[in-house]
A and B are shown apart, each in its own frame.
Chain A
């Protein structure tokens, strides 16, 4: 099993969700986050007072999927979150040791 974390541009969330539903992902967790990468921040100006805003708002989504679906998930996110401009985000893929559904006690792939 794989645990996939993606940080994307907030306005791309709907497209990514649709793309993931299409390939059969059953659920995702979404968090509003702030951060910076190579895009860096931006400056805001209030009556001459200039502030550098280092951390930009992004959306982080987390998906736990079976081994065979992982590659398709990465592809789907890459395709749907792409604008081609700096700041599109990153995808992190990690191994997932165990999953358990609280309601039924199922584990492993059955719990996904």
Chain B
């Protein structure tokens, strides 16, 4: 218990550091922002008639709509079967079905919660708009087939955002794989979606606190990956290690499935990142090339590290590197250039490699499938690294008026620090509540026998 707290304390300290660091730069940043706002206001007056004309008739664009339908389906493929196979291949064969089930059912449960209250709390205005949206669109009330969001039907927008909300909790599955109690997991993730994902999503994309700082998170560095990574770390530490960790062989039972899963994640990520543009336009093209090269550079970064450190580049290393690169480019994909994307993917992958091998070992926690090491760490690198790589001299799109590299970096660091603290603290409280009430870990006997038969009454493979 003491150990657990000291580790959590370290994470807290780290995030406070990030948070505090950014506070120092905030006085400048506020000043810069106000300048930016002033400029924007001036512009608005000058072009007001044109803007009004556009606003009067929001029209549906069939090209955008077609793309967003496809993008939503691509994100679904990322989760099922992509993520499920990626994780499934990495566990021992006695737990294969349990991991597939955890991803599959989490994805389904979150989908339903999203239309009941999730979308409304994330994307509508509410009385506490800084933190969370309202309940005006609960049960998707007030939305019809004719409702338009931007240039696409609102139902398509709701579905696209649903896939994000359903995927993020499923990412956490990797940290507690092979020892989690199925019922406890569903309760925890339901509460987690409500108190962590929805507020952060609203604060970043729904017009809340973090977006008001001017933070850039194009496709979900903080909302999706840092959120999932930090929750994963809290759960891995809280639950404790798997029985026999470090003593018994816990090698992946099927690397080809992991490779297939990683490849589906890679392909699906185009829906995730490019879809986040919400249109089939020129920015979408930039996002597309960035996503591809960041993933590729991530593969190279990881296997080069392995090759140098251990003498052999591995398939798991390649797959892990691809995911690390993809995670890192997620917040940055619309603001950096292709060369910046390569640098970001490469560096994030190397740091994630270090986190999964050295950091994990030295801290002694058992994050079964390295959700924190990959999603948390690469997500942080991407979210703060974009502030540097978006500079025009690095091929990026440049900064808004009145924003400098340093002020943007501070804002990014602040948004990352805020997300780590918010997610870390609430995840820990939820963990305690659910652990005491429902219970989050299976019995020792069940863990030894494997969750496939003990939790689900099935076996993955019959010989």
Please tell me which stretch of A3-11, A16-24, A44-52, A69-77 contacts chain B, meaning at least 4 of its Cβ atoms lie within 8 angstroms of it: A44-52
Of the residues A45, A47, A48, A53, contact of B249 by C-beta under 8 Å: A53
Q: Is B360 an interface residue (CB 8 A)?
A: yes
Q: Is B183 an interface residue (CB 8 A)?
A: no
Q: Are A47 and B251 in contact (CB under 8 A)?
A: no
Q: Is B370 an interface residue (CB 8 A)?
A: yes
Q: Are B356 and A47 in contact (CB under 8 A)?
A: yes
Q: Are A46 and B357 in contact (CB under 8 A)?
A: no
Which residues of chain B come closer than 8 Å to A46, judged between CB atoms?
Answer: 251-252, 314, 316
Q: Are A51 and B249 in contact (CB under 8 A)?
A: yes
Q: Are B361 and A48 in contact (CB under 8 A)?
A: yes
Q: Is B37 an interface residue (CB 8 A)?
A: no
Q: Tell me if B's interface is mostly helix, strand, loop or mixed.
A: helix
Q: Is B38 an interface residue (CB 8 A)?
A: no
Q: Determine the residue in chain B with the shortest Cβ distance to A54.
A: B249
Q: Determine the residue in chain A with the shortest Cβ distance to B90.
A: A46
Which residues of chain A from 21 to 69 have any CB-CB distance to chain B below 8 Å in the complex? 44-49, 51, 53
Q: Are A47 and B312 in contact (CB under 8 A)?
A: no
Which residues of chain B come closer than 8 Å to A47, judged between CB atoms?
Answer: 316-317, 320, 356-357, 370, 373
**Number of chain A residues whose Cβ lies closer than 8 Å to a Cβ of chain B:** 8
Q: Determine the residue in chain B with the shortest Cβ distance to A52.
A: B249
CA distance A67 to B421 in the complex (A): 79
Interface size band for B: 10 to 19
Of the residues B250, B317, B320, contact of A49 by C-beta under 8 Å: B250
Q: Are A45 and B314 in contact (CB under 8 A)?
A: yes
Q: Are A48 and B312 in contact (CB under 8 A)?
A: no
Which residues of chain B come closer than 8 Å to A45, judged between CB atoms?
Answer: 310, 312, 314
Which residues of chain A come closer than 8 Å to B358, judged between CB atoms?
Answer: 48
CA distance A53 to B312 in the complex (A): 17
Q: Determine the residue in chain B with the shortest Cβ distance to A51.
A: B249
Of the residues A48, A51, A53, contact of B357 by C-beta under 8 Å: A48
Q: Determine the residue in chain A with the shortest Cβ distance to B354.
A: A48
Q: Which of the listed residues B249, B250, B358, B370 has the most CB atoms from chain A within 10 Å of its own CB?
A: B249
Which residues of chain A come closer than 8 Å to B361, judged between CB atoms?
Answer: 48
Q: Are A44 and B357 in contact (CB under 8 A)?
A: no
Which residues of chain B from 311 to 364 have any CB-CB distance to chain A below 8 Å in the complex? 312, 314, 316-317, 320, 356-358, 360-361
Which residues of B are interface residues toward A (Cβ below 8 A)?
249-252, 310, 312, 314, 316-317, 320, 356-358, 360-361, 370, 373
Could you name 26 residue pairs across A and B whose Cβ atoms are closer than 8 Å? A44-B251, A45-B310, A45-B312, A45-B314, A46-B251, A46-B252, A46-B314, A46-B316, A47-B316, A47-B317, A47-B320, A47-B356, A47-B357, A47-B370, A47-B373, A48-B356, A48-B357, A48-B358, A48-B360, A48-B361, A49-B250, A49-B251, A51-B249, A51-B250, A51-B251, A53-B249
